[in-house]
């Protein structure tokens, strides 16, 4: 019995302590690698920003956003190993970030948001517009509000821009997300709502090309009849979902290209036809950045 106690005290305890220390160090290393050394500083900066304004009227809670970013950072830094280019192009103050939308699930939005939180200087909270029906879902509605997402109505977007926030918009809408694999990196038509809001608020538009998201789920095509029967915006056929583990997106390499801000001046009350030309300019800019990014990359997964 005494021997046993000796062994426990002399060998097992130090060993356990060493393992614990090593594990803690490993966690710290991983944390540093995933979140970067200045993560706490960034959180503090944003906390102060929203506290100084007497809280965010849309329900953003920097503490909740912090945990969401910690989860997304794993995907951003380790899973998709995102390469970020030109993030210094994002100006301070109000700005409308316009990107191509793809990938069946809006992971591209989460990665852009995480990148603006972890890589931009100073850190920015990305506010995106979510579907109205998400507000009817318990937990989901609360989660979205806490991390700064708001109901997608133009009034909210304009109000946020006037509060000098950063808005992420996907003018392709849900047509972009459910694009089949054969149409990857070909932009759908852009809606013109974002342009009207940019003109109304005087916010510059930062075009963003997301490379890598379009291959994360291989969608062979959309079944229109199934979508109609189920009342969904689209019913994609994704064979990988049938394979165990295939539910996760493929670990493609993400590349984000932030372009130089575009500034437009015109009467926001103009009819759609005159806005179309400006929308076309933005769409062409994003498409050109996508094409450039595609020629530069050497592989989908590395």
- Point out which residues bind another protein (CB under 8 A): 54-55, 57-59, 61, 132-133, 135-142, 145, 150-151, 153, 155-156, 159
Nearer to another protein, 57 or 122 (CB): 57
Report, in Å, the least distance between residue 219 CB and another protein: 29
Q: Please give the Cα distance from 248 to 147 (Å, whole number).
A: 23
Q: What is the DSSP letter of 298?
A: S
Report the residue number, 141 or 292, with the smaller CB distance to another protein: 141
**Cβ atoms of 98 and 208 closer than 8 Å:** yes
CB of 96 to another protein, least distance (A): 18
Q: How far is the CB of 60 from another protein (least distance, A)?
A: 10
- Which residue, 141 or 222, has its beta carbon nearer to another protein? 141
Name the residue nearer to another protein (CB basis): 156 or 287: 156
126 vs 285, which CB is nearer to another protein?
A: 126
Residues whose CB falls within 8 Å of the CB of residue 294, separated by 6 or more in sequence, listed in order = 185, 211
Token pair listed for 255 = 């590349």
Give me the least distance between CB of 78 and another protein, in Å please.
30
CB of 152 to another protein, least distance (A): 9
CB of 145 to another protein, least distance (A): 7
User: Is 5 buried (19+), middle (13-18) or exposed (0-12) by CB count in 10 A?
Assistant: exposed
Work out the end-to-end distance of the chain between its first and last CA atoms, rounded to an integer number of angstroms.
57
In the chain, where does DSSP find H-type helix?
Answer: 2-7, 13-35, 39-52, 62-73, 107-118, 140-146, 154-162, 174-177, 193-201, 224-230, 272-296
Question: Dihedral sign, CA of 33, 250, 147, 138?
Answer: negative
Toward another protein, which CB reaches closer, 156 or 183?
A: 156
Q: How many CA atoms lie within 13 A of 5 on its CB side?
A: 2
Of the two residues 145 and 219, which places its CB atom closer to another protein in the complex? 145
Residue 144 or 185 having the CB closest to another protein: 144
CA angle 172, 178, 180 (to 5 degrees): 110
Length reported for the chain? 302
**Smallest separation, CB 134 to another protein (Å):** 8
97: CB partners within 8 A, 6+ apart: 90, 112, 116, 126, 166, 167, 168, 169, 205, 206, 208, 258
Helix, strand, or coil (residue 204): coil
Burial string for 90-104 (b: 16+ CB within 10 Å, else e) reads beeebbbbbbbbbbb
Q: How far is the CB of 51 from another protein (least distance, A)?
A: 12
């Amino acid at each position: 019995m005494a021997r046993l106690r000796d062994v426990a005290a002399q060998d097992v305890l130090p060993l356990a302590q060493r393992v614990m220390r090593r594990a803690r160090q490993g966690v710290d290393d991983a944390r540093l690698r995933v979140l970067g050394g200045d993560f706490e500083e960034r959180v503090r900066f944003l906390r102060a920003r929203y506290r100084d304004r007497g809280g965010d009227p849309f329900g953003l809670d920097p503490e909740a956003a912090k945990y969401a970013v910690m989860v997304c950072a794993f995907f951003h830094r380790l899973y998709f190993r995102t390469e970020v280019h030109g993030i210094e192009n994002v100006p301070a103050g109000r700005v409308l970030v316009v990107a191509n939308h793809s990938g069946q699930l809006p992971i591209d939005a989460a990665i852009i948001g995480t990148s603006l939180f972890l890589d931009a200087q100073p850190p920015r909270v990305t506010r995106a517009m979510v579907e109205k029906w998400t507000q009817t879902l318990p937990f989901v509605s609360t989660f979205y509000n806490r991390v700064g997402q708001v109901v997608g109505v133009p009034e909210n977007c304009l109000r946020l821009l006037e509060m000098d926030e950063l808005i992420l918009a996907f003018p392709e809408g849900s047509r972009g997300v459910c694009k089949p694999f054969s149409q990857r990196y070909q932009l759908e038509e852009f809606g013109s709502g974002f342009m009207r809001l940019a003109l109304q608020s005087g916010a510059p538009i930062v075009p963003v090309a997301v490379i890598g998201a379009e291959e994360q789920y291989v969608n062979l095509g959309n079944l229109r009849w199934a979508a109609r029967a189920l009342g969904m915006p689209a019913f994609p056929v994704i064979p990988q979902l049938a394979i165990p583990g295939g539910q996760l997106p493929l670990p493609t390499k993400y590349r984000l290209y932030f372009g130089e801000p575009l500034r437009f001046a015109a009467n926001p009350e103009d009819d759609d036809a005159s806005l179309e030309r400006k929308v076309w300019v933005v769409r062409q800019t994003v498409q050109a950045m996508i094409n450039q990014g595609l020629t530069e990359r050497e592989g989908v997964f590395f």
